[in-house]
Structure formats: C-alpha cells, structure tokens
Structure 1
Amino acid sequence: MRSRCLVVSFASPHRRLPSFTCAMLSLALLAAQGPHALAEGAFALTSASFHAGGTVDAAQVFDQDDCKGGNHSPQLTWHDAPTGTRSFAVTLFDPDAPGRGWWHWAVAGIPASVDRLPENASSSGYLKKLGAVEARNDFDIDGYGGPCPPPGKPHRYVITVYALSTADLRLGQGRPALMFDHEIGTATLGSARMVVNYGR
C-alpha cells in the first residue's frame, strides 16, 4: 500500500502530497526536532581487560619492586569518534596518588583509522608499528606502567581515549606524560573514559 501524508492549507485542508514530497517533508520535520534526532552514537570506550568500576587484573598490574603483575597495557576498543577526528591518544592516570596524581601511561599519534588496541600494545611493539609515541610515565619508564599503589585504600585509575583534531602533536617518544597531557588537551574534540580500581 502506498504511503500518503496530509498537509493543511487554506486552499485545500486535506490535499495529498506526492510520495517524494512527503518523504522530504518527513526528513525536514525530523531535522526540526533538534540535533539529537539525527545524531550519531556517543563516543564510547570498552575493554576486554578492564570493566568500568571493576578491579584491575594481575595482568595489568606493575611488575617491579613489591608489585608482581604482568604489566600488560589493557585491550581497548572505541567507537563513534567525533567527526573531524585526525588521530587518537590514550592516557592512564591515578588521581588518588599523593600530590598531583600519578601518570601510568600516555600515548599519542594513534592513526584515525585505528579503533582498538590489543592487550600489551605498549611493550609488544604494536604502537611503534602504528607510528604512535609514548610518554615517560611517573615510574620513569617509557610506555605503560601498571597500577602499584601503596598498601591501603584502593586507588582509582582513569583510562581515557581522546579524539584529536590533528595527526601530529609534535611530541617525541619519552617526553614527560604531563607534557603529553597538555598537548592532548589543546587538540581534543571529544573523549571516552573508564574508571577502574586497584588496591593492595
């Protein structure tokens, strides 16, 4: 059965419109409902290694001093990045560490065509193959350094993927994570994050 729509006019209160005109009118009405009517999904982050609000597994825990973990960077997947994204960056930060917090990981220069990282992308060489660069974390190591808080109350660990408006932040391998954070902030179009916990 052919679809029909009606419009109100002074000349003919119930004049039928051709199907093409009807379709165009329907699209116009949909657009008039506001930006959310035709909006894409929200930029989001998921992980096979981390679960929002969950506890960090031993595979992602730091592996030096009195912390005995695998020190593997987590698997990450993201989707629905903002329009205009030219590259991605990733950070892992502990806001509960004394002082200004603790940087565990910062990566920039992940190509816009990439929407996931495998587990252990940091030390396996995967990020280098992509052309990405990693900061020097607060353990004084280039790349990923997993959670290793002092004994006591568990700390929160915030993992964030940033969609950036540039493919080149002009950051070099091994620059301080705080510098990465600053430069990432100058080019961020949107971000997706997850918070996990770990204590000893």
Structure 2
Amino acid sequence: MKRVLLSLLLLFSIFISGCIEGNQEKMKVLSAFENNSQIPEKYTCDGVNINPPLYISNIPENAKSLVIIVDDPDAPGGTFTHWIAWNIPPVEKIPEGIPKKGEVESPVKMVQGINDFGRIGYDGPCPPPGHGLHHYHFRVYALDTTLNLTPGSTRKELEEAMKGHVIAEAEIVGVYER
C-alpha cells in the first residue's frame, strides 16, 4: 500500500511540475517601434545611428546570459548583420545608445562583436536607396551559460558558441526603406 501511495504521489508531483512549466509564458521583446512597423529614423544611418531600446519580458529563471543578434535578410548580398552582443546579464531593458566598443560595463554589461559594416557595436538600418522595404530582425536569446568569446568575434563564432545553450528566444521585426 505504501508503494502504491508513493508511486501515486510521484506521478502527481511530475504532473504538477509539468503543468507549472507548461504555463510559463514565452520570452518577449519589445522596442521603440511595434512589431512589423517602421523603425524610427533616429535608430538608422539617416539619424543618430544608435541602437533602439529593447524591453525583454519572461526571461527564464535559469538564464545565465542574453545574446542579441540584429540582421537584415533583405540585403542585396544576403543576410546582413547589424549588431551582435553577448554575455548580457538577464536584464529586462537594454537602453538605447550602447557604446560602440568591444566590452561595455555601463549602462548594461555586454561584449560586442563585428557587424557586417566591419565595425564593433550597433549600426542601424541603411538599405540602398530605392531598394524597397527591408525587414530588420532584433532577436534576443536566453542562454544557460556565459560565452568564452573575445570582443570583436564574428557572428559565425557567436552562433557556434551558442549551440546547445539556447533556452529561450524572442524577436521583434522593424521595417525601413530609403
């Protein structure tokens, strides 16, 4: 009888834990623009060319760090990377205007890599004039670890280091044309 009760108790606890995990909301990211809407000029090469703020919610409790990858799949030569950053603490806000240097301590600690302009940090939308509407994907990944990558690493190196460590991801897409 004790074995039956223990077995039932074990099954019940597994069921309850699955229900709790199943109800956890997905990670989300918001910004200064709505999903699939115009990115304000301030955050482009036609403006101040600083990163927009990112607001992240429902970050998993076991996240050790965040990664940001911003790219434009509509670029004439194929997907063009505008920003990569990693080892960001699991914070709910990435403020606008992160300094363009490899290691940043303030306002939020992070390490940044080389974008496809050949520079470290964020460079905003800058599609060729008359090329039509471009979609800019701002992706945030929650990892179960921090990454051992040097400042100025490439997107390929970042994605390789992330393999097997992504526990959640979220995306917001903005559009821009010139």
Provide the residue aligned with 1:119 in structure 2: 96
TM-score of the superposed pair, with normalisation by structure 1? 0.73
3-state SS in 1 of match to 2:105: helix
Provide the residue aligned with 1:57 in structure 2: 40
Contact 1:104 1:144 in 2 (8 A): yes
Provide the residue aligned with 2:144 in structure 1: 165
**Separation in structure 2 between the aligned mates of residue 37 and residue 86 of structure 1, nearest angstrom:** 18
What residue identity is the alignment partner of 2:76?
P
Structure 2 vs 1, CA of residues 174 and 98 (structure 1 numbering), >3 Å: closer, same or farther? Answer: same
**Separation in structure 2 between the aligned mates of residue 119 and residue 148 of structure 1, nearest angstrom:** 18
| Residue 133 of structure 2, aligned match among 154, 158, 165 | 154
- CA-to-partner distance for each residue in 1:108-159, whole Å, 9 max, x for gaps? 01013x2211111244999433441101101111000100011221111000
3-state SS in 2 of match to 1:137: coil
Contact 1:73 1:122 in 2 (8 A): no
**Separation in structure 1 between the aligned mates of residue 162 and residue 97 of structure 2, nearest angstrom:** 22
Provide the residue aligned with 1:19 in structure 2: none
Deviation at 1:99, TM superposition (A): 3.4
* Runs of 4+ deviating beyond 4 Å: none
What residue identity is the alignment partner of 1:35?
C
Further displaced range: 151-160 or 173-182: 173-182
**Aligned ranges for residues 44-193 of structure 1 at < 5 Å?**
44-47=28-31, 49-62=32-45, 68-112=46-90, 114-123=91-100, 127-129=104-106, 130-151=108-129, 152-167=131-146, 169-193=147-171
Higher relative contact order (CA 8 A, sep 6+): 2
Alignment partner of 1:43 is 2:27: yes
Structure 1 residues without counterparts, runs of 5 or longer: 1-27, 63-67
Deviation at 1:79, TM superposition (A): 1.2
**Separation in structure 2 between the aligned mates of residue 122 and residue 90 of structure 1, nearest angstrom:** 15
Count, aligned residues: 165
Deviation at 1:179, TM superposition (A): 1.9
Larger radius of gyration: 1
TM-score of the superposed pair, with normalisation by structure 2? 0.81
3-state SS in 2 of match to 1:69: coil
**Separation in structure 1 between the aligned mates of residue 21 and residue 68 of structure 2, nearest angstrom:** 30
